[in-house]
Structure 1
Amino acid sequence: MHAAPTGPETSAHGGPPKAGPREWAALAVLTLPVVLISVDMTVLGFAVPHLSEDLAPTAGQLLWIIDVYSFVLAGLLITMGTLGDRIGRRRLLLIGSAGFGAASLIAANAPTAEVLIAARALLGLAGATLMPSTLSLIRNMFLDPRQRLFAIATWASGFSGGAALGPIVGGWLLEHFHWGSVFLINLPVMVLILVAAPLLVRESRNPHPGRLDPASVALSLGAMLPAVYGVKKLAEEGLAIVPVVAIAAGLLLGAVFVRRQLRLKDPLLDVRLFAIREFTVAVATNLMIVFAMVASLFFITQYLQLVLGISPLYAGFALVPGLVLSVAASFVAVGVARRLSLGSVIVIGLALIAAGFLAVTLAPTEGGLWLIVGAFALLNVGIGLTETLTNDAILTAAPPERAGAASAISETAYELGGALGVALLGSVLTATYRIRLDEVEDVPAAAMDAARETLGGAVTAAEGLPSPAAGALLDAARAAFTDGMHLTSAIAAAIIVIAAVQAGVLLRGRRNGAG
């Protein structure tokens, strides 16, 4: 358990010890990796056209540049979370920060696409150490429930804050500097963490960790990597034998992994945590939120740029109000949690998310900017309210010595939810778009084939057509995409409603940690 000499000072009132100035300063340091990773997720998309011109990657290499980070990250989260419990979470954070900085330097100066792919894989390896380490350190620094809830709200707001900064920072950097600058911005942040963390962040670990089981590490990688690969390939290529086999192999190895953990005295992942109702509901809720949210970003950004014709930078600004409200809602959740039960707050947050998706189903093909701004704001207020409490529930339900493993499970749910969201809802959107895109008169068959691939393909195809045909093709493509977005948003709303019913029923009467 958390040792008194290495934690916050003992409370004079006999309750859990209160965090002091050192812990609050340490929280600022632990929020930095969250902000940075969130910024990184956004700015890479802005850099793709620039690095494509410089490195000339093939289509397959470009997909690996984008995807290899999440593959490696998802595959190693559980292993790294448990490793932090064993060797020390602060130590793992420092190792990961040094590795993240080194990999960023390699990526920024990559001379070829192959080197950039390797650097992105190293970033995924280092990134897998950062998120579980930061959340589990917070769990062990803030033992008072109300202080911990506020700390988690601060930590969670880093995601939204970073996402809001990403489009602005990325747009500005790429206007003034080489594409490698989007990776170099990581270096000063990593240096700050390496200097400040040893001074401010107290070390914590599981005092009785047991031995690390290499077979379990191999099985966890064997389950996660093919599963995530298969889901992403389904999104890119549709139903095919290779991604289906990959997913089946991942599920089979996952079942073997779970059986092994139940038999081991010192499991890599304590799957018995899922017997705790609050823990299981919180993890499932996070997965479904991210499932729907990543899909919404996938189609909302395309709608703003390709249907409404807004530039990438202004499209980023259009999403900023919602992301700022998400930060505010994270802190509002702290006050609301003192008055309402855990299930009630989660249901309210999920209801707001569902309302946001339903609002997207009303978006027109012209003049829908303010509707999308409002819908995205509803989505993010709901996410801010919900995720603060679900992350707190995950950490509170798990014993402090297993905080790293619990954090890793939470982060794995995020990764799987994001991959599934793009794969499944993205596939629904693509299929609906293709079905709804009718033949357009005076448009050659080759141009129609290109237009059916993606809305971006339709825009490119229209550039080579005479004015009347180009306008007709764009109108048809934009209408088809908007129809697909309506259906996808309705499905996402239904998924969130199911999550709300689940939380309301299973958490009825359950108080949250700050209640």
Structure 2
Amino acid sequence: MTSAVAGTDDRPDDTPAARPAKAGPRQWAGLAVLVLPVLLIAVDMTVLGFAVPYLTEDLRPTGGQLLWIVDIYGFVLAGLLITMGSLGDRIGRRRLLMTGALGFGLASLAAAFAPTPEVLIAARALLGMAGATLMPSTLSLLRNLFTDDRQRLLAIAVWASGFSAGSALGPILGGWLLEHYHWGSVFLINLPVMAVLLVALPLLVGESKDPAPGPLDPVSVLLSMAAMLPAVYGVKKLAEHGWDPVPAAALAAGLVLGVLFVRRQLRLPHPLIDIRLFAVRRFSVAVATNLMIVFSLVASLFFLTQYLQLVLGMSPVAAGLVLVPGLAVSVAASFVAVSLARRLSLGTVLVLGLALIATGFVLVTQAPPEGGAALIAVAFLLIGTGIGLAETLTNDAILTAAPPARAGAASAISETAYELGGALGVALLGSVLTAAYRIRLEDVAAVPREAMDAARETLGGAVTAADGLPGDAGAALLGAAQSAFLDGMHLTSAIATVIVVAAAVQAGLLLRRDRTPAAGSAGGA
């Protein structure tokens, strides 16, 4: 495979000789290999939450250590995505992907057998470092595998479906593993996938990189990390715990350093990321929509899993099965988006997808205290369908808006939006849910002060406290806590609805006549 040439025009030519070559069996087999890291990362996003009670019992981390075990992966990943995307453009995207896959496997092995919380935190940080190479590399390699507009759009649909399939598989696989094996098994599942990737990737996927990348600016690398890490930390901690001078200072420092980073990129002849890409309307709207997609998915998974398990009393596996139809339909909707793209504008399809997500959140506002599993299944079906419709086209818009030689950096921007969306989804909507829960949970008669304090921390804390009380008092506390959580979930879902509707309005206004390349080349493919 030949490398992309900087500045190559991706628009289809009218002459048959100039049309992009169609992908063959080798390219489609290569796509299957590139989906593996996406599938794995999506599984990893969901299984760790199930493993927390088990690793807490085994390693006995402090509260602060447990937070770092959960958060460090996302912090490091977000801080390195832009750097890794640009590095792949320079040294080769396949080379970077293989290096990251090897590192991801070794870090998974260290995490699985971590003897102390400190070792697990370090292993999770290494997983974040290696993970930052995976997603941008896989998406940018697709552009070189599939040069035909229609085939590329279908390939991106397959790639995006890996994320949804992994999210569906995670709760079921994680629940089964934790019922039968040590908590470290949720990390060991990474090893065979990485082994297949390391063997098959060089056989099926050619190398690609920017042929004239220019030097990698170390100051830009440091500024990108120095801006992202404290900014993500500040937003997450302020949303979780309210005003505190340390995270507020971190957020302010991140914003200042971010401004310095942007100004430096605008001056450099070979920037780490091309800030001017955001002047392209389809690119900026697609990035913002990607952020909203992951924001809604992660936030909904955060409170719906708690509702199903702690309010309705379902097991982890049963709760996962309630959400599987929505995630499975998300896969199917990714392919429906390919067909819709030939008939409708990009803005129209995005509005349709976001409208379905908003409708799903409206249904969640009606979730009852008992017997709500069917309603949640339908609500998440709508959310998953909307995500599947939008995600394929946003990723295609991001790739086609950037010059081929800068595909890695453009993909990294997209993945940064994913990470920020996930962090903000839990941090912002999670904090709203927690605050509403604590306000609504009033003192319960005959329940000791210590038990009430524990119950106000989380719904899981309320369940534990209720188990330690006599029958009537425990039942009263549990009922009050479940009612308070339900009120908070209704409020959070209403806020999410407003946010998603605002994103839909933005997409509709800014992209009314913008069609995908596949739609524009309908007659020539």
**TM-score (ref. length: structure 1):** 0.97
Partner of 1:213: 217
Structure-2 separation of matches of 1:57 and 1:126:
24
Which residue among 101, 109, 113 is the counterpart of 2:113? 109
Query: What pairs with 1:74-223 in structure 2 (closer than 5 Å)?
Result: 74-223=78-227
The residue number in structure 2 matching 1:474 is: 478
Task: Say if 2:240 and 2:428, in contact at 8 Å, map to a contact too.
Answer: no
Amino acid at match of 2:222: A
Alignment-derived partner of residue 523 in structure 2:
none
The CA deviation at 1:232 is 2.1
SS of residue paired to 1:121 = helix
Residue 2 in structure 1 maps to residue 19 in structure 2? no
Residue 7 of structure 1: aligned partner: none
DSSP-derived class of the 2:518 partner: coil
1:80-129 Cα deviation digits (max 9, x unpaired)? 00000000000000100111111111111212111111111111110000
The 5-angstrom pairing of residues 334-345 of structure 1 reads: 334-345=338-349
* Partner residue in 2 for 1:407: 411
Quick check: 1:16 aligned with 2:20? yes
Shift of the alpha carbon at 1:139? 1.4
Q: CA deviation at 1:13?
A: 5.4
- Equivalences for 1:217-366 in 2 at 5 Å? 217-366=221-370
| Cα-Cα RMSD | 1.4
Q: Distance in 2 between matches of 1:298 and 1:180?
A: 22
Quick check: 1:495 aligned with 2:499?
yes
Whether contact under 8 Å (2:80, 2:129) holds in the other structure is yes
Measure, in 2, the Cα distance between the counterparts of 1:439 and 1:89. 57
Residue 394 in 1 paired to residue 398 in 2? Answer: yes
CA contact (8 A) 2:105 2:194 kept: yes
CA contact (8 A) 2:5 2:210 kept: no
Instruction: Report percent identity of matched pairs.
Output: 75
Selected match of 2:509 from 501, 505, 509: 505
Matching residue within 55, 62, 66 for 1:62 = 66
Greater mean alpha carbon deviation, residues 233-242 or residues 374-383: 233-242
1:434-470 Cα offsets, whole Å, 9 max, x none, are 1111222222222222211111111111112221121
1:442 aligns to 2:425 (yes or no): no
TM-superposed deviation, 1:289: 2.1
Runs (4 or more) in structure 1 with deviation over 3 Å come to 10-14
Q: Which moved more, 1:260-269 or 1:177-186?
A: 177-186
Task: Return the alpha-carbon distance in structure 2 between the equivalents of residues 287 and 101 of structure 1.
Answer: 28
Aligned-residue offset at 1:3: 5.7
**2: CA distance between counterparts of 1:470 and 1:53?**
24
Corresponding residue SS for 1:492: helix
* Structure 1: gaps of 5 or more residues: 5-9
Instruction: Give the aligned residue type for 1:348.
Output: L
Count the aligned residue pairs: 510
Structure 2 runs not aligned, ≥5 long: 7-12, 520-525
Task: Tell me the distance in 2 between the aligned counterparts of 1:171 and 1:297.
Answer: 15
Partner secondary structure for residue 246 of structure 1: helix
CA distance in 1, matches of 2:295, 2:189: 29
- For 1:404, the aligned partner's letter is G
Amino acid at match of 2:453: D
| Alpha carbons 2:295, 2:425 under 8 Å: kept | yes
